[in-house]
Every structure is written in structure tokens, then in C-alpha cells.
Amino acid sequence: MVGIYLGVAQAVGLPFVRPYLAGNCAEDFRYAANFAVGGATALDNQFFRSMGLQIIWTNYSLGAQLEWFRQLLPSLCSSDSDCGTLMGNSLFLVGEIGGNDYNHPLLQGRSVDEIKTFVPNVVGAISSAISELIQLGAKTMIVPGDLPLGCVPAFLEHFSGAIAGDYEAETGCLKFLNRLAEYHNQMLSRELSQLRRSHPHPTIIYADYYNATVSIYRSPRRYGEPSSSSTLDRCAAFDRVELDAPQDSTEAPWWRAAATAVGITTTQMHCAGKRRRRRRWRCAATHPVMSAGTGFT
């Protein structure tokens, strides 16, 4: 359910997060746990079967990842009080997840109009996971939105027969797929607002992965790629980029800066505090990180 980026771990002096499925004992998750699995969906496979889709991926859904967390939690704390302290002092990164709920149907030929009907279910699954974490004692959660699907190289190749008008002039990304991602993010943002009203004490932060990533496609030179003729070319170049997150938190909150590194394998990011609801948020090495994304961390 939650994921952590390597640059963040480096910046606060933490070891890299061990994937849950690769762990052998509780000591492996002393600092953090990563329940994310590549290709995971927010919805269980039963939903996709009911829609007549061919299941070609393992059911490591958000619900499955949350169940792994429930199983792990008793080994990390010895009493209800200890578990409450652990949950309250931990940062939960719930996502990015949901993109694969749309990716799989798109690649099986389903229309964007049909897939848009999946969005309420996907957002509902994310909301349910957040609510359960709050019930378990979570106090601080970052919930990323979806990435710009129209910029994904696999889709640019899959829909290579699209006409010129289907592409965004600034980015070279596919308009109709980016509108799908934007719709997901709008629905998710509304749901998070409702969760904040229902649970006023926890801090629920929306991370705008979409616009942070689009900024890379709009200004590739700013991020280390001097000349690219297409979005596909830029994607190939991003594996080599190193980023320094802005130090001025009034210019860019640290979670937005961290999101800018989505899809880049080597990053250097620095945390910058930002006032939110009269609270000072700081990166704290003493706070474990629980993650899921295409899952949960």
C-alpha cells in the first residue's frame, strides 16, 4: 500500500526499505516496511473478473497488502499501547496505486469511457484502506494521485496509431489518457477532503504526482535532458537524472519535490518543512515509514 523513494531514505539517513515479501523476520522491518508490488491494483481480481477481463497478474491488491500489514504489526509492537505509539509516530505512504486498475483494461482493449466507470470503485478501495489505517492508529498519511497515463511509454507505443490531435502539444502525451488520470485525481482529492472532515485529527496529505511528473515532460532540459524529440526519448533519458529538491519550502513542499522524482531511479532529495494547519511537518529519522504503492509503505 505504501512506497518510499530511495532518495528520501538517503536524505534522512535511513537504510533502504526491504520489500515485505523479501523479509524473514521483524528485524528486517525495524525502520520501515514496503508492501508495494509492481503491477498491483487497488481492486481485487474478483472485480476485474466480473468485468470480463482476463486476469494476467497476481492478486497483490491493496486489500492484500493491508492484510500483510495487519499480520506484520504484532511482531513490531508488544502491546496495544506500543502499537498505538508506533502507528502514531509512523509516516504512511498510501500509493501511488490505482494506475494499474486502468492500465490492465486499457491494454486489453477496453475504452476510456468504460474504464472511467471503474474510478469510484478504485477511489473507494483507497479510501477504505486509509480509514482502516486510521482505525489502527495512523496519524500521518501521504496519498499520491495517479501519474499522467498518457505519458507512459507503453501507451505511447500501444496507441501509436493515434492522430496528431490526440497528443498534447507541450508534452507529446496522449490527451485522452491524461484526462482519465485527471478524473481519478479529482475524485481522489474529493474523497480525501471527505476523510479529513470525518477524521479531523490525522494529517492526510495529497501528493500531486501528476503535475510534478508533467513538469518533467514540459521542461526536459531543466531536469538534465538537453535535447529530446519525443516523450519516448525523454523517458529513456530519465534513468540518468539526479535531482536536488528545492530547499525553499514556500516554493515547493518536500512531498511535491519528492514526487518530481517519480520514474527516476537515482535521486537526491532534501526535506524542507512547510507549515500546514499550524503544524510544522519535518522528516524525522526516528519515524518509521510504512509503505504500499503500486502499493503501500
Can you tell me whether residue 228 is helix, strand or coil? coil
Given pLDDT bands bounded at 50, 70 and 90, which one contains residue 210?
A: very high
Q: Does residue 200 form part of some domain?
A: yes
Q: Does residue 116 form part of some domain?
A: yes
Q: How far apart are CA 1 and CA 249, in angstroms?
A: 27
Burial of 92 (0-12, 13-18, 19+ CB in 10 A): buried
CB contact at 8 A, 32 and 289:
yes
Q: How far apart are CA 33 and CA 225, in angstroms?
A: 33
Grid cell digits, residue 18: 526491504
Mean pLDDT over each residue of the chain, to the nearest integer: 79
Q: Does residue 264 form part of some domain?
A: yes
| Tally of domains within the chain | 1
Q: Does the structure show a pLDDT above 90 at 14? A: no
Q: Considering only CA atoms, which of 2, 286, 285 is closest in space to residue 141?
A: 2
For residue 116, give Cα distances in angstroms to 125, 204, 287. 15, 25, 37
Given pLDDT bands bounded at 50, 70 and 90, which one contains residue 230?
A: low
Q: Does residue 104 form part of some domain?
A: yes
Cα angle 8, 135, 42 (rounded to 5 degrees) comes to: 60
Least reliable range by pLDDT among 10-14, 130-134, 168-172, 227-231: 227-231
Which has more confidence, 209 or 221? Answer: 209
* This prediction's pTM: 0.77
Q: Does residue 87 form part of some domain?
A: yes
Instruction: Considering only CA atoms, give the Rg of the chain.
Output: 19
Give the max Cα distance, the chain.
Answer: 61
For residue 226, give Cα distances in angstroms to 223, 229, 263. 9, 10, 18
Q: Does residue 185 form part of some domain?
A: yes
Cα angle 59, 143, 24 (rounded to 5 degrees) comes to: 50
CB contact at 8 A, 181 and 148:
yes
Can you tell me whether residue 207 is helix, strand or coil? strand
Domain that holds residue 56: 6-21+29-292
Question: What is the rounded average pLDDT of the residues 210-224?
Answer: 90
Write out the H or E segment, with its range, that includes residue 8: helix 6-11
Q: Does residue 297 form part of some domain?
A: no
Given pLDDT bands bounded at 50, 70 and 90, which one contains residue 294?
A: low
Q: Does the structure show a pLDDT above 50 at 125? A: yes
Grid cell digits, residue 282: 519535518
Q: Does residue 1 form part of some domain?
A: no
DSSP state of 117: T
pLDDT of residue 259: 36
pLDDT of residue 297: 63
For residue 219, give Cα distances in angstroms to 9, 25, 68, 171, 175. 27, 44, 40, 9, 18
The dihedral built from the CA positions of residue 129, 87, 89 and 242, taken in this order, carries a sign that is negative
Q: Considering only CA atoms, which of 35, 14, 8 is closest in space to residue 291?
A: 35
Write out the H or E segment, with its range, that includes residue 151: none
- In the beta sheet, which residues pair with residue 296? 292
Which has more confidence, 12 or 177? Answer: 177
Q: Does the structure show a pLDDT above 50 at 7? A: yes
Query: Got the DSSP string for 31-66?
Result: SEEE---TT--SS-HHHHHHTT----S----HHHHH
